[in-house]
Structure 1
Amino acid sequence: MTAPSGSAAELLGALRGEGRLSREALDRDYNARATVTSARFDEEMQRYRQLSQPARAMPGATLDVVYDEISGQTLDIFGAAAPGERLKPVFLFVHGGYWRALSKLDSAFMAPALAERGIATAVLDYRLAPAVSLAEIVREVRQAVSFLWRRGANYGVDPQRIFAGGSSAGGHLTGTLLANGWQAAAQVPENVVKGALTISGLFHLAPIAASFVQEWIGLTPREVAELSPAEHISGIGCPLIVAFASGEPAGFGRQSRAYHQLWREAGHECGFMEIPDRNHFDVVLDLADPETMLSHALTELVRRG
């Protein structure tokens, strides 16, 4: 499937304009939970945790590394190089949960498959809404990248080969890692992330701030502008894959198509994947299976990087 055409101004205008749609329409278009039964949702959440457990038993796994002294948040690293080996590229995975659920314990399911292909995995915790603001969550996730760039070599990963990805709210947070404007203050290179994969992501927050999600995320107009990745496409950029499931709510599909086109409009390399026979919750689990096209795409992204 091809993404829609249009200038960057037109695409941004359409995304901003979604915030003026009716609450009923937005609640429908951004309610992923309503696209599956309660039993199916519970099953997928259990699979996240079950498929992540084997990673914690991987040889050399390093758990609960504090990456941010301010918040005390931690990350786990799997499949890294042993002492004396060449440092390995690392895929930093950012979990979803509409910024208020899940953890790194549910998020390491891709680590064994990536380790077989010579790629380390890092998964992180960040504090959740409504206990903290989205601005704070974004700060913490960016700090995780800064930590890997500064100290990753101490843990067997290559600071020059950091890749990032995430699902749903994690897709949004991945987008904030690619956005311009934060790297200088963090004293990291603008191209610190060498490639990225967003799955079922959210790239403009205008419709989110007008939907049911606002009840716990509490976005201000300024935060909508500052924390929407679509508003801050870097001039440097990196190879990006924008993926989503065929069974997504309509809003997630619209945002993925628009973000892909915005990335292309900026002159950056960007792949586009609609994964058939998957829903918002199970599509990311394709990363646990090295034979899926999503897993192949991630592996190729890292190898090329």
Structure 2
Amino acid sequence: MAQWKEMKKDELERQYSPSRWSHRMTADDVIKAHVASMKEGTQRAHSVAKTLLDIPYGEAVGEKMDVYMPTTCPSQGIPLVVFIHGGYWQFLSKEESGFIAVPLVQRGVAMAAMDYDIAPKGNMDLMVSQVRRSIVSLVQQFSNISGVYLCGHSAGAHLAAMVLCTDWSQYGITPQIKGAFLVSGIYDLLPILSTYVNGPLKMTEEVALRNSPICLIPELKHSSSACHIVIVVGQHDSPEFWKQSDDFFKALKSSDLKVTFEDVPNTDHFSVIEQCVDSDSHLTQLLLNMMGEC
């Protein structure tokens, strides 16, 4: 496959249109089904968890998060999974993002989902800042957390990776981030600058570079050397999405970071994360096993 710089605009846009690569249904239908699946799973989470809704992590109207707690919390520390939703930084919210709490709270694990100001209201620098501040706020507000585990999907995987690159000295606190689950993410923003994705984002090359985790490996190693990172990609993700994950994995591996790669069979960009509502799914088990390591 040609490198992205050699692709014509229509091919580049096709590569970065995940819905056009689904093996299950049409592009429009797979997005509708994805949102419906997330909403249904989140409704289930509300029925099995103790919910703390609209907790502020900042002063802006959109800076809120939902926390799903086990109905019976252990007396000692409790692991916390922070889910960062996708939607190409311009779609979705925390309202559909509680679905992965379903199997977690039943295993004594708390889960949080936050809103961030998606485009066009928010820009990339702001979104990265908001997600970082939400992690700080969670650690400050919930003192019984035994460890933080990030889980991000698509654009959310990018934001989770940016959290791993954070200089926490600027925040006066260092969250104990023990693991990160990065699912079908984008780690180099340069290829999307000339695509439809960048329309609402309005990123310049400078903005894209400073917010590309692939360019921040030294910072990530400094801040997150003890973190176990799992890079996940769906079998039916596009070749460019697959390459994004593979390149990031290789960059982390060459820097001697603890990283593993998972190519999940018979999944597309959307079903690969949807299966996390199921306690028996491969990804859910990987996430739970990661917590058992720490």
Q: TM-score of the superposition, structure 2-length normalised?
A: 0.90
- Structure 1 unaligned residues grouped into runs of 5+: 1-16
- Counterpart CA distance in 1 for 2:85 and 2:12 is 23
1:113 alignment counterpart: 103
1:75 alignment counterpart: 65
CA contact (8 A) 1:18 1:206 kept: no
Out of 121, 138, 141, the position equivalent to 2:131 is 141
Task: Note if 1:97 corresponds to 2:87.
Answer: yes
Counterpart residue type for residue 52 of structure 1: T
Please give the per-residue CA displacement for 1:84-128, whole angstroms capped at 9, x wherever unaligned: 722311000000000011111211111120112221101111111
Distance 1:228 1:85, change over 3 A: same
- Counterpart CA distance in 2 for 1:192 and 1:216 is 34
1:277 alignment counterpart: 266
- Counterpart CA distance in 1 for 2:189 and 2:210 is 10
CA contact (8 A) 1:167 1:201 kept: yes
SS in structure 2 of the partner of residue 260 of structure 1: helix
Out of 216, 232, 235, the position equivalent to 1:232 is 216
SS in structure 2 of the partner of residue 222 of structure 1: helix
1:64 alignment counterpart: 54
- Structure 2 unaligned residues grouped into runs of 5+: none
SS in structure 2 of the partner of residue 247 of structure 1: coil
- Counterpart CA distance in 1 for 2:5 and 2:114 is 30
Out of 167, 177, 188, the position equivalent to 1:204 is 188
SS in structure 1 of the partner of residue 102 of structure 2: helix
CA contact (8 A) 1:35 1:249 kept: yes
How much does 1:19 deviate?
A: 4.8
How much does 1:289 deviate?
A: 0.9
Larger RCO (CA within 8 A; separation ≥ 6): 1
- Counterpart CA distance in 2 for 1:204 and 1:22 is 18
How much does 1:39 deviate?
A: 2.3
Task: Note if 1:214 corresponds to 2:198.
Answer: yes
Task: Note if 1:302 corresponds to 2:286.
Answer: no
Out of 237, 241, 249, the position equivalent to 1:252 is 241
1:166 alignment counterpart: 152
1:5 alignment counterpart: none
Counterpart residue type for residue 173 of structure 2: V
How much does 1:22 deviate?
A: 3.1
Out of 242, 246, 263, the position equivalent to 2:231 is 242
How much does 1:294 deviate?
A: 0.8
SS in structure 2 of the partner of residue 91 of structure 1: strand
- Counterpart CA distance in 2 for 1:20 and 1:81 is 53
Of stretches 72-81 and 244-253 in structure 1, the one that deviates more from structure 2 is: 72-81
- Counterpart CA distance in 1 for 2:291 and 2:74 is 22
Of stretches 259-268 and 230-239 in structure 1, the one that deviates more from structure 2 is: 230-239
Counterpart residue type for residue 101 of structure 1: F
CA contact (8 A) 1:67 1:143 kept: yes
Task: Note if 1:291 corresponds to 2:277.
Answer: no
How much does 1:187 deviate?
A: 1.9
- Counterpart CA distance in 2 for 1:104 and 1:146 is 18
CA contact (8 A) 2:74 2:108 kept: no
CA contact (8 A) 1:165 1:174 kept: yes
How much does 1:175 deviate?
A: 0.6
Q: TM-score of the superposition, structure 1-length normalised?
A: 0.87
- Counterpart CA distance in 2 for 1:108 and 1:90 is 13
Counterpart residue type for residue 246 of structure 2: R
Counterpart residue type for residue 192 of structure 1: Q
CA contact (8 A) 1:55 1:112 kept: yes
CA contact (8 A) 1:19 1:210 kept: no
